[in-house]
Homo-oligomer: A and B are copies of this chain.
Amino acid sequence: MIFDMKDENLIFVRFDTNDDFFESLYSVVEKYSMNAGVILSGMGMLKDFEIGWFNTEKDVYEKIKIDTPHELVALTGNIARKEGKPFAHIHVALAGPDKKLVGGHLFGAKVNITNEIFIYKIDSMKFERVAYGSFNRLEGRYLK
């Protein structure tokens, strides 16, 4: 379940256990009609997540899935649109039971316990993801 608050352009959202990370994030993007945004902070725990490292030579993501809940120690990302739909580019750093960190490009995750996320909505810009082969480049224009 999503709890959210807004102070001018700063949006605070809390996701709860078993929420789907991307579904929850995109529902917030739609609720606030975001065309461009940046995640200022994100923490909590993730489980059942899939992360990837981009193999530049082979032009493909090498992915792994991890079920074990991990502490979400850094959540970096931004919000754009691709063909009208919300598109979030998300990287994560996650700590496991041994306190060692894994991470990379986030493809999917479930929330464990809680996620506390702060997003800054950029009213004057529209970000669009434009495909160049397998890479979706972040392009932007001013709305005014």
Once the chains are docked, how many angstroms separate the CA of A123 from the CA of B104?
Answer: 34
| Shortest distance from the beta carbon of A16 to any chain B beta carbon, whole Å | 9
| Shortest distance from the beta carbon of A66 to any chain B beta carbon, whole Å | 9
Interface residues on chain A, number (Cβ under 8 Å): 61
- Contacting residue for A74 out of B3, B54, B93, B116, CB 8 A: B93
Interface of chain A residues 1 through 21 with chain B (CB within 8 A): 3, 5, 7, 10, 12, 14
A77 neighbours in B (Cβ, 8 Å)? 41, 43
Contact A101 B97 (CB under 8 A): no
Interface of chain A residues 37 through 93 with chain B (CB within 8 A): 38-43, 45, 51, 53-56, 62, 64, 69-78, 89, 91-93
Contact B91 A73 (CB under 8 A): yes
Once the chains are docked, how many angstroms separate the CA of A3 from the CA of B62?
Answer: 28
A40 neighbours in B (Cβ, 8 Å)? 38, 40-41, 120
A53 neighbours in B (Cβ, 8 Å)? 70-71, 95-99
Cβ contacts A to B, 15 pairs, < 8 Å:
A5-B140, A7-B125, A40-B41, A41-B76, A53-B98, A54-B113, A74-B74, A75-B76, A91-B95, A93-B103, A95-B103, A99-B102, A99-B104, A114-B135, A114-B137
